[in-house]
Amino acid sequence: MTLQFKPSETFRDTFTYAKTAEDILRFPFPFPEDEYMYSVNIEPHVKGGPTAAFQAVFDIDEHYVAECRERAKVLAEDPKRCQVLPHMMAAEWDTLELIMESLAADYPEHFTLTKAGDLWTWVNRPLGLQQSFTFGKAETLPCPPFEFITRQAQGDFTLQDQREDNLFVDGGMVTTQADWSLEFDIGMTFHEWHGPVPLAHEKGVFDRALKYLMRLQCGQPVRRLNWTMTVNPRLDTSPENYPVWGPDKATVTPENVAEKVHLRVELQTLFRLPRSNAILFGIRCYLTSVADIARVPKWRRRLHRVLRDLHPDIIGYKGLPRYRQMVIDHLAPFDDGVPTSRGIAPDTDTLDAAR
């Protein structure tokens, strides 16, 4: 696999982000069925899966360099997007070890980790970085270990401490989020953090997920997919910057809906960490425009049906009311009513022409 990075693509202002055909087909499409409701859709995070996005512990794609640059910009403007409470230092080192070892094992052409006892040397070729440091000694790195390594990974990360029969979100690197604020939520319990999500509490989804996650074991990570929609390929849809990106929603028209509106998928992964017993929560964000989704027959039929039949509370919570009907109207002519296969695989390895 040779990745051609596109370091100059942008996720704000000019929005030059674009996907190659391979990148469209590896999209982790989030709907295994024609309808959607909250569930405890957690499965073991093992390599392999319905698309190429599931072939590594931490997935890297053609947007890697550009996403790391976008993250650096967000942090330069708002350093509080990365915060870790002081009692989580062991979890910071656990995170650094897990991500470095996983990237070096999955992408040896891009990343190398060498160790001589506690003296580690990390080489990140796509970003042109080389760093020697002493594992366990934060002063030997240019910034704290969690920030150091998550600046070099795609997607957001949070750290959960387990105590008092609960999980507390006690740290995170959050620059590509779907409208939640680390600054506001840090220190919250699992249920408080998920407080604003509608319907799922009443269905017992969070009670069961919490019990399951508290039993999560080292070396047996799990994953799930979550989704929302975003206008323009914007990674930073934070509450902090809502006044900046909120007006985008009113710019959608029937003419531009396919290019402007993106399905935003989070490949969420959960890892129990050894020294700290914390849980690392990876929230890897993938953006694909409605126009690109429409090039896969199964996906365009299914997205149409899911959006058409979506529960009103979910439409509100995910912030879709302003343009959902335009997406449905755009996709409806391409939904011939043919049944779709179960699961999220595209069922094709070529794309239809753009429509």
Partner 1 sequence: MSPAATCDVRVREIEPLAPGLKRFSFEPAHGGLFSTPPAGGHVMLTLRDGARVMKNAYSLVSPPAERARYDIIVRLVAQSRGGSAFLHHKVARGDVLEMAPPLSLFPVAATAKKHLLIGGGIGITPLLSHLPELKARGARYELHQLSVADEAAVFERLLAPFAAGAEIRVHGGGRAAFDMAGLLARQPLGTHLYVCGPRALMDAVSGTALALGWPKGKIHKESFGDTSGGLPFKAVLKRSGIEVEVGATQSLLEAMEAAGVAAPCLCRGGACGECRTPVIEGEVEHRDDFLSAEEKAAGTAIMTCVSRARGPRLVIDL
Partner 2 sequence: MSDQGIKSRPKYQPIAPEPAGRHHLLVVEGAEVPGGALAEGVSPAAFEVWTVAHRSAVPGAPVMEEAAGAVRTFRSVPHLLGALQERLARERMGLRLYGAGTEPFVWDVFGIAQAAGLGRQETGFAHVGTQARRIFCVHCRAVTENVSTSIVTCSGCGASLFVRDHFSRRLAAFMGVQVDAEVPGEVPEAEELYA
Q: Which residues touch 228 (CB under 8 Å, ≥6 apart)?
A: 178, 179, 264, 318, 319, 320
Site for partner 2 in 24-83 (CB under 8 A): none
Residue 254 has phi, psi (to 5 degrees) of -60, -25
**Which residue in 224, 234, 275, 300 is the catalytic one?**
224
308 is catalytic: no
Check binding of 212 to partner 1 (CB under 8 A). Answer: yes
Distance CA 171, CA 101 (A): 21
Site string for partner 2, 160-199 (x = CB under 8 A): ---xx----------------x-xxxxxx--xxxxxx-x-
Query: Angle 56-57-58 (CA atoms, 0-180°, nearest 5)?
Result: 90
CB of 263 to partner 2, least distance (A): 20
276 binds, among partner 2, partner 1, none (CB under 5 to 8 A by kind): partner 1
298 with 341: CB under 8 angstroms?
yes
End-to-end CA distance of the chain: 29
Q: Which does 53 bind (CB under 5 to 8 A by kind): partner 1, partner 2, none?
A: none
How many CA atoms lie within 13 Å of 335's alpha carbon, on the beta-carbon side? Answer: 21
Q: Which does 7 bind (CB under 5 to 8 A by kind): partner 2, partner 1, none?
A: none
- In the window 77-116, what residues touch partner 1 (CB under 8 A)? 87-91, 94, 97
- Is-contact 24 351, C-beta < 8 A? yes
- Interface residues with partner 1 (CB under 8 A) are 87-91, 94, 97, 118, 135-136, 161-165, 170, 212, 215-220, 272, 274-278
Active site residues: 224
- Interface residues with partner 2 (CB under 8 A) are 163-164, 181, 183-188, 191-196, 198, 201, 239-243, 246-247, 249-250, 322
